[in-house]
Structure 1
């Protein structure tokens, strides 16, 4: 009997030792694409959404996840949203993992020829996904009705939880704050000469990359300098207001405090995102590099140099 007890205790110790090994599931582990479908879709809209999203992915196999009001409450309310269990959800998405180093790619796909995501842009989705801790993935978003698109992102967060590991909630909160800040800045500057959403999101990706180089102990003063530098590099220094700049700085402090900078992939993913935005909007960024769009300080310096050259020529 004594030997049996010893053997039993040894077995329990062995199980306890190796039990954590049975839960090896990283936050970015998606064996198959996951399609998230809004619960408010009618049967015909649901099938139409499936057809739209299925046409975008390379695999014929995928899992489905229904996004409800409770999903919104779980993932979006901690960041300040006010959803409830009866909230409607129409925006839907599919996410599939890609090869290491490929970065985060987001496409908003038309439904019956119309882009029904009214508020969140593709680049805003990409920046939010980066902040939340998502790496190397293709994400396709659509909606059968006009809607802001929050449900699609909540579905992506839920997809990770369904596949074995939740994303860091502090990073998800920061990502949702980011969506709000970037969307409000883009809406406030809509139609303003010299402003595009691509410039803002490129600046945000650059800020994250530069912050990651400094590490998780980066100070607020260092963050402020990085924000100023990236806004200037994207010719936004005379467009973004002081209040909007402070919102960006506060957001970056929240991202730092969320633990995102401790992720070894964060810097590389941010650099890849910035490179992709620049590449995909070459026409915009080529214009930013023309003589007439150089920053005011540089123009003033050029004038001073030209003046003294004239005096001594």
Structure 2
């Protein structure tokens, strides 16, 4: 900003076209421009992240980077501060530090980070940092690939881990489920939160969990919605086990009774999974499109949603009375 004011402003104005400005610097005959290009073009997986990977944090007053690595490590011992950092955005100091240095942290720090992340998710919070930490744990539990050294300086290639050789997708998902479930139980996750966790972080899908939770039918039939953090996932799993996804006309009375008792946010989530509502382009978090028909990818046509819309008309009115916007439309 002080010595290359013109270039600084070009980079600031062209934040979405950084490489265009870098290309101009590279082609310049000025030695100062070439040195500046060399500095700005560096790209290594380390903390603090280089300009090219995250230019925004280098502009004045946008996202000041005040934390050193040692300061961040000290904050790992402060529960309140740790929770704040775990909810940080993907361009933050903490996110950049964790993604580049997590594997170099000692085991107690890694464990503390994961435990705090699991606790936050159980309280209905999520972030890019939490997603990264869960992904790292999942990779450690059962690696998707393992590095192998190529002889004669040929670099590194990857192979399938022995645990995955000759395994079907269903078997692999079952292994991940069996390794993760005790961890989630230790973190005080109820059944609904376990299901939500598996789906949210793409560890396994609902259809691969069919039969894993034998108590789900009795939970749905008792309509004990208020006993669970995310009851909509229990109903989604139940419908999946019956192979009645989107088959509204086949749903039994107990399903409709369960839907009637879902909290509003849970109801919205359930309807999104059944392709009955989708988020509008409006930034208002309560602005949705109510789809009277949606694409049926099995036969290429449209699926009629009128049955479910009419069945839950009272619930839709309750949503609207609570400031939800449901604009009717066909997909």
Query: TM-score, length-normalised on structure 2?
Result: 0.26
Say which structure, 1 or 2, has more relative contact order (CA 8 Å, 6+ apart): 1
Query: TM-score, length-normalised on structure 1?
Result: 0.27
